[in-house]
Amino acid sequence: MNETPIRKPSIAIIGAGMTGILLCIKLQELGIDDVTLFEKKDDLGGTWRENTYPGVACDIPAPMYTYSFEPNPEWNYRFARGNEIQAYFKKVSEKYKVTPKIRFGEAVISATYQQGKWTIKSSKDTTLAVDFVISATGILHHPAKPNIPGLASFKGACFHTAEWDHSIELKGKRIGVIGTGSTAAQVIPEMIKIGSKVSVFQRTPQWIVNVPDKHYSNQDRENWRKNPSVAKRLHALYTIAVEQTFSKAVIGKKLPHALMSFLCKRNLKKSVKDPILRAKLTPNYRVGCKRVIVNSTFYDAIQKPNADLVTEAIEKITPEGVVTKDGKIHQLDVLVLATGFHPFNFMRPMNLTGENGVKIDDVWSKKIQAYRSMFIPSFPNFILMLGPNTPIGNFSVIAMSEVQANYLMQVIRDWQQKKFDELSVTEDAFKNFNAYLKAGMGKTVWLGGCNSWYLDADGDPAMWPYTWKQWEKEMKTPDYKDFAIKTF
């Protein structure tokens, strides 16, 4: 019996962060070597390369924040610091021979689909024709700067947390921090340790759950090195814990949400004794409506004598500092913008042109959607990793990428077996899938009375409204009746 010859595709991956590295490894397992990884910066690591602010750490327990096939016995803390996470990804990239495939300092400017091939043009004026393009640019990588009158006039140092200026001496300075989200909750305590006065400009308070950090000893690490199964068990235990608490709480499961609400409210009450300050720090929306912050240092820090929580709205910024609506001038030497990211940019500003000249900006002009968070009609053989509606409440993004990567590898294998040459999701499947998502949003807490980065321009959460197990189940195998398939 003659087997169908296996052919090998040429593939371009955009972004050498966690997902791009993972995809290269998975493709190598299929025997696919014609892979080019474009990375706009001079180093790999994605968000862990970009974010180097003081206090940067992952809010997912470190034993869970690894590839399932590559436990890391070298973690120093339960909540790993940014530099050790980047070191982990570098080590994995070297071990699996991904690094030689990366074109550093080369951004993709455009990708155009014609006659069964994608043509890529890069910032180095090179052109590459490939069978598949996979965008692994991540979710939060375009810093959002606040549109505050006079921001450019500030005469002190001013920078976004994702563009931290390490040349600035902060010790003894008057520091202002705009924002109180996850990043701010990490950076503010570090500023309070070294600043003479730290003014925190809060627009909306956040719910915070206290999961204490833990320093892993040399003995812990030695045990993990000798017994890799221990690290794997920890990975599994943390995964179950997050799945049964955070992830179920945000989609409206009553008991997990009640538990999460209790823990957040008790944490605030026990941690902040001053009733006036506590009132300022108490959100007026349901727990989980915004991403629940996992932090054990913010409440203690904001009560220090040199900390000032400012809840009056900002009117403008002057060369001397921040002016609030009450007319008060908050004089500052340094202004830190902890104002988050644009969550709906994905692969853009890259010019992406599908079949018949269809442009991504036109397709997404009214609403940013995808099928299975990965496929867009009229863009054959283009895959968007961690696209809209991927985020699963406070879950490990590595686990999400692994599920998507396994799904994608089945598609690639079928292409290898000549089951198709061109694959694109149908308009009907695209619409039905997004209607299915919308139908599930009603019970979630993301519609719980807050304005968060989870919400798109229509106020619809770009999240997964069902359980993690449901997502895994639905992503087990591609359903080809949802695709338009062509052979040449």
Say if residues 242 and 60 touch (Cβ distance below 8 Å). Answer: yes
Which residues, other chains included, contact 67 with Cβ-Cβ below 8 Å and sequence gap of 6+? 22, 25, 92, 398, 402
Instruction: Indicate whether 417 pLDDT > 60.
Output: yes
Q: Report which residue type is found at 401.
A: S
Three-point CA angle 155, 160, 164, nearest 5°: 95
Q: Report which residue type is found at 336.
A: V
The SS3 assignment for 59 reads coil
Residue indicated by tokens 């006065």: 197
Q: Report which residue type is found at 305.
A: P
Instruction: Indicate whether 111 pLDDT > 70.
Output: yes
- In the CATH scheme, what is the homologous superfamily, with its name and number, of domain 151-207+251-337? FAD/NAD(P)-binding domain (3.50.50.60)
Closest CA to 466 of 437, 445, 446, 488: 437
* Helices then strands, each counted (H, E), the chain: 14, 21
Helix (H) or strand (E) holding 440: helix 427-440
Rounded CA separation 159/151 (Å): 11
Rounded CA separation 486/488 (Å): 7
Residue-wise pLDDT tens digits, 119-144: 999 999 999 999 999 999 987 778 88
Q: What is the mean pLDDT of residues 281-304?
A: 96
Rounded CA separation 36/29 (Å): 16
Instruction: Indicate whether 3 pLDDT > 70.
Output: no
Average pLDDT over the chain, rounded to an integer:
94
Residue-wise pLDDT tens digits, 379-409: 999 999 999 999 777 789 999 999 999 999 9
11-142+342-486 and 151-207+251-337 in the same fold: yes
Q: Using CB atoms within 10 Å of the CB of residue 95, give its burial: 0 to 12 exposed, 13 to 18 middle, 19+ buried.
A: exposed
pLDDT of residue 139: 79
pLDDT of residue 1: 41
Residue-wise pLDDT tens digits, 461-474: 989 999 999 999 99
pLDDT of residue 115: 86
Instruction: Indicate whether 275 pLDDT > 60.
Output: yes
Handedness of CA 425, 428, 429, 431 (dihedral sign): positive
Residue-wise pLDDT tens digits, 29-44: 999 999 999 999 999 9
Of 4-18, 29-43, 304-318, 319-333, the poorest mean pLDDT is in 4-18
pTM for this entry: 0.95
**Percent of the chain's residues with pLDDT above 70:** 98
Rounded CA separation 97/479 (Å): 32
- Tokens in use for 333? 């030497």
Which residues, other chains included, contact 152 with Cβ-Cβ below 8 Å and sequence gap of 6+? none
Structural domain spans, the chain: 11-142+342-486, 151-207+251-337
Rounded CA separation 181/41 (Å): 26
Q: Hey, how many other C-beta atoms are within 10 angstroms of the C-beta on 175? A: 26
Is 11-142+342-486 a CATH 3.50.50.60 domain?
yes
Say if residues 206 and 181 touch (Cβ distance below 8 Å). Answer: yes
DSSP letters spanning 359-408 = BHHHHTSS----BTTTB-TT-TTEEETT-TT---TT--HHHHHHHHHHHH
Residue indicated by tokens 């900390």: 307
Residue-wise pLDDT tens digits, 150-178: 999 999 999 999 999 999 999 999 999 99
Q: How confident is the model at residue 479 (pLDDT cuts 50, 70, 90)?
A: very high
Distances from the Cα of 274 to the Cαs of 170, 176, 284, 300, 302, in angstroms?
28, 22, 18, 12, 11
Q: How confident is the model at residue 261 (pLDDT cuts 50, 70, 90)?
A: very high
Closest CA to 337 of 482, 134, 183, 106: 183
Q: What is the mean pLDDT of residues 4-33?
A: 94
Instruction: Indicate whether 353 pLDDT > 90.
Output: yes
Cβ contacts of 272-276, under 8 Å, gap ≥ 24: 272/299, 272/302, 272/303, 273/303, 274/303
